[in-house]
Copies of this chain bind each other. A is one copy, B any other.
């Protein structure tokens, strides 16, 4: 009859947003959608399939940058879009690091990163590696932020340092002032991205220099910021 898959994923996403991943049970999803738990199986194929569906939903929400932007702006758009998706759906986003995710949505994001890196002048042989490097950071950052890995340690530096004899943590002691200031996650993410994009450019420049040495082809520096 009707394809209930979209409605099932809607319900599951709502439950995940409201009560975390632990609240997403086949029974709870079924109840919200007005079906028996077993009625979900033909549509999502079990719990794993349901979670894959949620991840696909989340990735399809990430806006792809238009081709009119320069490569650095395109990477920034993607990174901020991914981080925004994490803020909207923290529980589901946590699945991203730990799941293969062969979803079509993830393919399109990767494709956009590939195009940006090629436009930046990163040699083809290095593009997949650099894509994984940048993606790993962005996904890792958003996950850490959303799961509390960042905020937990920094709440009270004194008690943290107090866990061990003070002379075992000299750098912590020297940085107490900075650490006590806490984290401005928005600013930090932007600063990290700036450093990483500079890194991408230096990979590109390094390749061009090697190529110029043998074939002397100059190359225009792509503007940042």
Contacts and interface: CB of A to CB of B under 8 A. Distances in A.
A172 B111 contact: yes
A2 interface: no
Contacts of A98: 94, 97, 143, 147, 149
A141 to B, nearest CB: 5
A153 B100 contact: yes
A136 B132 contact: no
A100 B149 contact: yes
A133 B192 contact: yes
Interface of A: 94, 96-102, 104, 106-108, 110-111, 114-115, 118, 124-125, 127-129, 132-133, 136-137, 139-141, 143-144, 147-154, 160, 163-164, 168-172, 174-175, 177-179, 183, 188, 191-192, 195-196, 198-199, 202-203
A115 B96 CA distance: 32
Contact of A129 (B100, B137, B151, B188): B188
Contacts of A191: 129
Contacts of A111: 168-172
Given A101-B153, A115-B170, A125-B178, 18 more contacts: A100-B148, A100-B151, A106-B153, A108-B164, A108-B168, A124-B178, A127-B178, A128-B154, A129-B191, A132-B141, A133-B137, A133-B192, A136-B137, A136-B140, A195-B203, A198-B199, A199-B199, A202-B202
